[in-house]
Amino acid sequence: MPLSRLVTLIVGLIVILGLALWLIDSLSRLYWQLSYSPLLGNLLLLLLILLVGGLVAAFVYYVLVLQAGEQRSRRSRKRVTPAQIPVVKSDAASSTLQAVRQQVAQIQDEVTRQALLSRTKEIESNLARGEIQVVVFGTGSAGKTSLVNAIMGRMVGKVDAPMGTTTVGETYCLRLKGLERKILITDTPGILEAGVAGTEREQLARALATEADLLLFVVDNDLRRSEYEPLKGLAEIGKRSLLVLNKTDLYTDEDKESILARLRQRVRGFIATNDVVAIAAHPQSAQLETGETFQPESDIVPLLRRMAAILRAEGEDLIADNILLQSLRLGEEARKLIDAQRRRQADKIVDRFQWIGAGVVSVTPLPVVDLLATAAVNAQMVVEIGRIYGCELNMERGRELALSLAKTIASLGIVKGAIQLLTTALQLNVATFVIGRAIQGVTAAYLTRIAGKSFIEYFRHDQDWGDGGMTEVVQRQFQMNRRDEFIKAFVQEAIAKVVKPLTQKSEVVDEEIER
Model pTM?
0.60
Q: Minimal CA–CA distance to 401: which of 454, 346, 461, 476? A: 454
* pLDDT band for position 280 (cuts 50, 70, 90): very high
**Higher-confidence position of 25 and 410:** 410
pLDDT computed for residue 157 by the predictor:
42
* pLDDT band for position 29 (cuts 50, 70, 90): low
* pLDDT band for position 41 (cuts 50, 70, 90): low
Length of the chain: 515
Would the CA dihedral through 104, 105, 111, 114 be positive or negative? Answer: positive
- Which of 35-39, 81-85, 226-230, 344-348 is the most confident on average? 344-348
- Which of 41-45, 189-193, 311-315, 372-376 is the most confident on average? 311-315
**Higher-confidence position of 32 and 347:** 347
**Higher-confidence position of 258 and 292:** 258
C-alpha span between 460 and 349 (Å, rounded): 15
pLDDT computed for residue 165 by the predictor:
38
C-alpha span between 25 and 44 (Å, rounded): 13
Q: Minimal CA–CA distance to 477: which of 420, 397, 414? A: 414
- Which of 62-66, 116-120, 212-216 is the most confident on average? 212-216
Where do runs of H (alpha helix) occur along 364-413? 375-388, 395-411
Span 372-401, average pLDDT: 86
**Higher-confidence position of 174 and 462:** 462
Beta strands in 238-309 (DSSP E): 240-245, 276-278, 286-287, 293-294
CB 150 within 8 A of CB 158: no
**Higher-confidence position of 314 and 153:** 314
* pLDDT band for position 101 (cuts 50, 70, 90): confident
Give the Å distances, CA to CA, from 393 to 25, 235, 381.
105, 44, 11
For residue 281, the 8-state DSSP code is: S
**Higher-confidence position of 290 and 229:** 229
* pLDDT band for position 124 (cuts 50, 70, 90): confident
pLDDT computed for residue 52 by the predictor:
62
CB 281 within 8 A of CB 300: yes
Q: Residue 220: is it exposed, middle or buried by C-beta count within 10 angstroms (0-12/13-18/19+)?
A: middle
Residue 337 has pLDDT above 80, yes or no: yes
Give the Å distances, CA to CA, from 243 to 141, 155, 425.
15, 19, 58
C-alpha span between 472 and 474 (Å, rounded): 6
pLDDT computed for residue 50 by the predictor:
72
- Give the list of residues 6+ apart from residue 334 with CB closer than 8 angstroms, or none: 100, 103, 104, 107, 116
* pLDDT band for position 410 (cuts 50, 70, 90): confident
pLDDT computed for residue 79 by the predictor:
41
**Higher-confidence position of 160 and 421:** 421
pLDDT computed for residue 76 by the predictor:
41
pLDDT computed for residue 363 by the predictor:
65
Q: Minimal CA–CA distance to 139: which of 213, 204, 226, 209? A: 226
Instruction: For the chain, give the mean pLDDT.
Output: 78
Residue 177 has pLDDT above 90, yes or no: no
pLDDT computed for residue 297 by the predictor:
85
pLDDT computed for residue 159 by the predictor:
41
CB 455 within 8 A of CB 367: no
Instruction: Kindly report the number of other CB atoms within 10 A of residue 382's CB atom.
Output: 27
C-alpha span between 18 and 395 (Å, rounded): 105
Least confident of 118-132, 372-386, 387-401, 410-424: 118-132
Q: What is the share, in percent, of the chain residues with pLDDT greater than 70? A: 72
Least confident of 23-37, 96-110, 293-307, 421-435: 23-37
pLDDT computed for residue 332 by the predictor:
84
CB 92 within 8 A of CB 174: no
Span 168-196, average pLDDT: 78
